[in-house]
Amino acid sequence: MRRYFSINTYFLVFSFIIVMAILTWIIPGGSYQFEEKNGRKVVIPNSFQRVERNPQGIFAILTAPIKGFSDSNVSLIIGFVLIIGGVFSVLQKTGAIDALIRFMASQVRKKPILDHFFIPIFMIIFSTAGATFGMSEEVIPFVLLFIPLALSLGYDTVVGVSIPFIGAGAGFASAFMNPFTVGIAQQISDLPLFSGFIYRVFCWLVITAVAIAFVIRYANKVRKEPYRSITFLLDEERRKALSLNELEGSEKLALKHKLVGIVFLAGIAIMIFGVLKYGWYIDKITAVFLAIGIAGAIVGGLKINDFTSSFVAGAKDLVGTALIIVMARGILYVAQDGRIIDTILHGATSIIKGFHPYITAVLMFITQSVINFFVPSGSAKAALTMPLMAPLADLSGLSRQVAVLAYQFGDGFSNMIVPTSAVTMTVLTSAQIPFEKWVGIVWKLQIWFFITGLILLLPPVLTGW
């Protein structure tokens, strides 16, 4: 049996805070000016200027985690995570989740052909969600659902995480109508909304296929040799806790379990409608999931004390995840207070100038990937980088569509591994997967994605798309 040394995740994230503080002593301070455009603050090209360096010391390092709580978006995500934990604990208490998992596992065992379509079908669904309404934080509850489902089919926790997380991430990176990335980037670049649709759909198909192939390859390996999984011991404990090996009597679902399932699906449908139609953000989405928990408890026959105790227990299980989120946000506070983010962006855009158009497109892709560590929010990154990348594309003989495509790839691919992403760290800590072990698996996927991105950038450069 393989043994794995694991770095404590809290220690690792805190180490990133220290490294960022050290960088503020090395990288000069700099700042861009911003202007209001279509209700959004965007950077003014050619407005960069050197400012006094503001190196961050011990006190800044120690206050970084608590500053993470002061960010309004982080506070919303923390509340979302805790409520999601509570809701899933309530649904688990009704017995509906276990019953559904056993039912699906028994159907797959009766019809082995379904096993071949399990990963592709669900990853395509999540990729479509990422490509259309920018599924990001919404993936968290599905991770909690797909882990036991994957275990019941002989896979491991990593597969359970990968189906929704990598699936949605692939769609997010190759989005063809995501209003929060493509929409904002094209708006800032003065391009028609969702223009270039056909080629972006082609990119989505290719990148989704790459993601599916990677996950299937990994899934087949750990099913054949379970001890090779980094979560092998954890998976054994989870299987025992969920009694996933006891599938007898699971051919039918009880009425209350069906009703809980209907409530859950109806809630998801309402959430998707609200996001697409009204642009709902985390607060509204959280309200939907809370309603799912309450309605699920009612139709599932839970008493008030059972509901509250299971809800609190579920939320408590994700407190550690909340701490990781604020610490990850602390990394960005140190970089912002140290005035180095704009300097890094200015340096990167300065290097890009003067190359062959295709090389320029590749350097844009790489620059966006680097900036993603400091600004993991796709919409914020578009406001920061696209006012610089769009005119840079004009000077380099590139279409602005290519600059947007390079932004998409740089923003989306690395989202799955940057420790400053609240979603990434939430997914990993809730699944109990050490960050460095996750990176040790998906770095190969990142290479696959990078090569695919390089290839997909070439046709539009050659054709002037």
Q: Are 368 and 385 in contact (CB under 8 A)?
A: yes
**Residues in contact with 84: Cβ distance below 8 Å, sequence separation at least 6, in sequence order:** 140, 141, 144, 286, 289, 318
Place of tokens 């995570």: 81
Q: Which two tokens stand for residue 408?
A: 């998409």
CA distance linking residue 302 with residue 288, whole number of Å? 19
Q: pTM for the whole thing?
A: 0.84
Give me the pLDDT at residue 5, please: 52
Check whether 169 has a pLDDT greater than 60. Answer: yes
- Please, how many CA atoms are within 13 Å of residue 26, restricted to the half-sphere of its CB? 6
Q: Characterize 102-114 residue by residue with b for buried, 16 or more Cβ atoms within 10 angstroms of its Cβ, and e for exposed.
A: bbbbbebeeeeee
**Nearest-angstrom CA–CA distance, 10 and 301:** 39
β-bridge partners, 37 = 40
End-to-end CA distance of the chain: 53
| Mean pLDDT of all residues in 165-177 | 94
- Find all residues with CB under 8 Å of 37, minimum gap 6, and list them: 188
Residue 1 has pLDDT above 50, yes or no: no
Q: Per residue in 338-367, pLDDT tens? A: 999 999 989 988 888 878 999 999 999 999
- Chain-wide mean pLDDT for the chain? 89
Q: Which residues are CB-contacts of 158 (< 8 A; sequence separation ≥ 6)?
A: 218, 222, 229, 230, 231, 433, 438, 441
Which residue matches tokens 């969600």?
129
Instruction: Count the Cβ atoms, other than its own, within 10 Å of residue 249.
Output: 8
CB atoms under 10 Å from CB of 440, counted, come to: 12
For residue 42, pLDDT beyond 80? yes
Other Cβ atoms closer than 10 A to 9: 24
278 band by pLDDT with thresholds 50, 70 and 90: confident
Beta bridge partners of residue 262, listed in sequence order:
none
Spatial CB neighbours of 331, under 8 Å, sequence gap ≥ 6: 13, 16, 17, 20, 64, 419, 420
**pLDDT tier at 3, thresholds 50, 70, 90:** very low
For residue range 64-119, list pLDDT tens digits in order.
Answer: 999 988 877 788 888 888 999 899 899 989 988 888 887 887 777 777 777 789 99
Distance CA 162, CA 96 (A): 23
- Residue 36 in 3-state DSSP? strand
Q: Which residues contact 138 (CB under 8 A, 6 or more apart)?
A: 129, 168, 271, 275, 285
- The predicted-structure confidence for 437-446, as pLDDT tens digits, reads as follows 999 999 999 9
More confident residue, 179 or 124: 124
pLDDT, one tens digit per residue, over 378-430 is 888 998 899 999 988 988 889 999 999 999 999 999 999 999 998 999 999 98
Dist CA 159 CA 161 (whole Å): 5
Do 164 and 139 form a contact (C-beta atoms < 8 A)? yes
Report residue 200's pLDDT band, with 50, 70 and 90 as the boundaries.
Answer: very high
Pairing verdict, β 49-50 and 34-37: unpaired
Average pLDDT on 199-220 reads 97
Residue 372 near residue 366, CB atoms below 8 Å: no
Q: What is the pLDDT of residues 44-66, one digit of tens each?
A: 888 999 999 999 999 999 999 99
Model pLDDT, residue 251:
57
Residues 6+ apart with CB under 8 A from 3: none
Whole-number percent of the chain with pLDDT over 70 = 96
The pair of structure tokens assigned to 272 is 């998707």
pLDDT classification of 241: cutoffs 50, 70, 90: confident
Whether 252 shows a pLDDT value over 90: the answer reads no
Q: How far is the C-alpha of 363 from the C-alpha of 369, rounded, in Å?
A: 10
* Full 3-state SS string of 174-193: CCCCCHHHHHHHHHHCCCCC
Backbone angles phi, psi at 30, to 5 degrees: -160, 160
CA–CA dist 342, 398 (Å, integer): 24
State both tokens at 122.
């669900």
Residue 40 reports pLDDT greater than 80: no
Q: Which of 82, 88, 425 is nearest to 267 (CA)?
A: 88
Measure Cα distances from 250 to 106, 254, 325, 441 in Å.
Answer: 7, 10, 38, 34
d(CA 332, CA 374): 6
Enumerate helices (H) and strands (E) in the chain, giving the number of each: 20, 4
- Selected residue with higher pLDDT from 280 and 24: 24
Predicted pLDDT of residue 180: 83
| Greatest pairwise CA separation for the chain in angstroms | 70
Write out the two tokens for 433.
């997967």
- DSSP string for residues in 377-422: -HHHHHHHHHHHHHHHHHHHT--HHHHHHHHHHHHHHGGGT-TT-H
d(CA 373, CA 341): 10
Rounded distance, CA 194 to CA 179, Å? 8
The alpha-carbon radius of gyration of the chain (Å, integer) is: 23
- Euclidean distance between CA atoms 349 and 24, whole angstroms: 20
